[in-house]
Amino acid sequence: MKVGILGGGSWATAIAKILTDNGAKINWWVRSVEQADHIKEHKHNPRYLRSVEFLDGELELYTDLDKFLECTEVIIVATPSAFIHSVLAAKSLSDKKIVSAVKGIIPEYNLIPAHYFSEYHKIPMNDIAIISGPCHAEEVAMEKLSYLTIASEDSALSKLVADKMDGRYIRCSVSEDLVGTEISAVLKNVYALACGIAHGLGYGDNYMAVLVSNAIQEIEQFIDHAYPLHRDVKQSAYLGDLLVTAYSLHSRNRRFGNLLGKGYSLNTVKQEMNMVAEGYYAAACINELAAQHNVELTIANTVYEILYKQVNPRSAFIDLSKKLY
C-alpha cells in the first residue's frame, strides 16, 4: 500500500528519513509551496532537520491535499494536534488507514487522535495505529539507535508499519494498547512541562527523580481507570517515552516549561518557541478528562493552573512539593 506523510515539521522529516532509508518511496504533503519546491530542488527540508538529505525518486511532494489523499492509502499524520482538524475537517478519510505520529489532543473535540479519526472521520479502530517513542527527531537525523512502539488494535496493521520502519538505527516493537499508548504519549508532554518548570525554578536532580516517579504513577492511574487493559507502564512506550521527554535537551515541552520556570511570561515563551509544545494544549484537555473520569492528577493539575489560571510557578511548586512522596 502507498504510504504518505502529512506534515512538514521535524518529526515528519525524521519519519520520511526512516522510511526512505529503508527503501520506501513515499508521498509527502507539506502546506507551503516554497517548502515543497526547496525539498525537490535541494533534497532537504529548509526549516527542520536540515542535515537530512533525500535522494531523487524517494519522495513525491504534494501541496495539494486532495491529490495527496487520492494517491495515498496509509497516511502517517505528523501535524501538530492543534492544526489537524483545520487541515482534515472537510476531507473524506473513511477508506484510509491512519497512523498517528501525533502526541497531543485534538482541542476542538478534546479527543486523542485515534478517537478523533474514529468518531469524526468514521475510520474503524482496526484501521488506526500510533507511532510512539521514546524517540526524538534530532537523534533520528543523527542515526542514533532509537526505539519505536507501533500500537494498533489490528496486529496486521501494526506489523505492517513496524516492518516499514524497522531498520539499521530504528528498532520497532508492536502493541495492541492503542488508546493507552496514545493517552500516555499525551500525558508525558504535560509532565515534561512540569520537569522543565522545576528545572527553571532551580530544583535539582533529586527532586526531578521524585517528580518523574510520581508522574508515571499518575499516568498509570489515569489510563488504567479510563481505559482498563492489562499493561505494564514500565515498558518503553510509557516510562521510556516519559523519561526522554522529561530529561532530554531536545524536548520542546521541557524547554517550554524551563522558560516559564525562569520567569518568562506565557506570551513571551510562545513567541520564543518556533515549534509547537503539545503539552500546552494537552494540559487543558487532560484537566477536563481527569474531571470526567474522577481521577486526581496532582502534577498535571499544577501545570494546568500555571498555564491557564496564571498561578505563580514558584508558589505552585512549593505546594506541589508537599504532595509528592
31 is known to lie in a ligand binding site = yes
Of 146, 43, 31, nearest to 78 by C-alpha is 31
Q: What is the DSSP letter of 228?
A: -
47 is known to lie in a ligand binding site = no
Nearest-angstrom CA–CA distance, 325 and 31: 46
Burial class of residue 315 in the structure, from the number of CB atoms within 10 Å of its CB (0-12 exposed, 13-18 middle, 19+ buried): exposed
Alpha-carbon torsion (61, 64, 70, 72), positive or negative? positive
14 is known to lie in a ligand binding site = no
Dihedrals phi, psi of 296, to nearest 5 degrees? -90, 115
Grid coordinates belonging to 263: 520567569
103 is known to lie in a ligand binding site = yes
276 is known to lie in a ligand binding site = yes
152 is known to lie in a ligand binding site = no
180 CB-side CA count, 13 A: 28
83 is known to lie in a ligand binding site = yes
48 is known to lie in a ligand binding site = yes
Nearest-angstrom CA–CA distance, 245 and 184: 12
The 3-state secondary structure of 234-258, one letter per residue: CCHHHHHHHHHHHHCCCCHHHHHHH
CB-CB contact of 188 with 241 (8 Å)? yes
296 is known to lie in a ligand binding site = no
For residue 95, the surrounding DSSP H or E stretch is: none
Dihedrals phi, psi of 170, to nearest 5 degrees? -125, 130
305 is known to lie in a ligand binding site = no
Of 148, 77, 103, nearest to 252 by C-alpha is 103
User: Residue 15: how many CB atoms within 10 A of its CB?
Assistant: 26
133 is known to lie in a ligand binding site = yes
Q: Which of the following is catalytic: 96, 97, 164, 188?
A: 188
241 is known to lie in a ligand binding site = yes
- Which residues share a beta bridge with 62? 29
251 is known to lie in a ligand binding site = yes
231 is known to lie in a ligand binding site = no
Is 164 tagged catalytic?
no
DSSP string spanning 148-176?
A: EEEEESSHHHHHHHHHHH-SSSEEEEEES
- Which residue positions form the known binding site for NAD(+)? 83, 137, 252
- Which residue positions form the known binding site? 10-11, 31, 48, 83, 103, 133, 137, 188, 241, 251-253, 276, 278
Residues with a catalytic annotation lie at 188
- Which residue positions form the known binding site for NADPH? 10-11, 31, 48, 103, 137, 252, 276, 278
- Which residue positions form the known binding site for substrate? 103, 252-253
